[in-house]
């Protein structure tokens, strides 16, 4: 677990120590719980990137330009979502 400066707690999976064959049951449970929460979020962002190319912002030169790029791409993702799920 990592403590962020804004009083938020970030839960991360537990890694095995060098030479450790299995995780303790509570560590395995925590890692599974974190993965179950993280996987759908990662899938959503992968879908947004696949359908909009949101990560391609190399020509953006300002904060305002970045905001236009990001929110424009998110609007396009919502449009695609509505178009293909209706």
**Structure tokens, 6:** 């804004």
CA 45 to centroid of chain Cα atoms: 6
Q: Per-residue pLDDT tens for 18-63?
A: 888 888 889 899 889 988 988 999 998 898 888 888 888 888 889 9
Closest by CA position to 67, among listed 76, 77, 57, 80: 57
pTM over 0.75: no
What is the rounded CA–CA span in Å between residue 9 and residue 73? 29
pLDDT of 4 higher than 60: no
What is the rounded CA–CA span in Å between residue 6 and residue 79? 33
What is the rounded CA–CA span in Å between residue 55 and residue 40? 19
């Amino acid at each position: 677990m990592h403590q962020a400066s804004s009083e938020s707690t970030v839960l991360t999976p537990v890694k095995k120590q060098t030479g450790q064959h299995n995780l303790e049951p509570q560590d395995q449970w925590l890692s599974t719980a974190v993965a179950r929460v993280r996987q759908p979020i990662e899938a959503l962002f992968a879908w947004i990137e696949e359908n909009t190319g949101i990560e391609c912002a190399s020509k953006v030169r300002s904060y305002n330009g970045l905001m236009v790029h990001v929110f424009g791409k998110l609007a396009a993702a919502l449009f695609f979502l509505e178009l293909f799920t209706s």
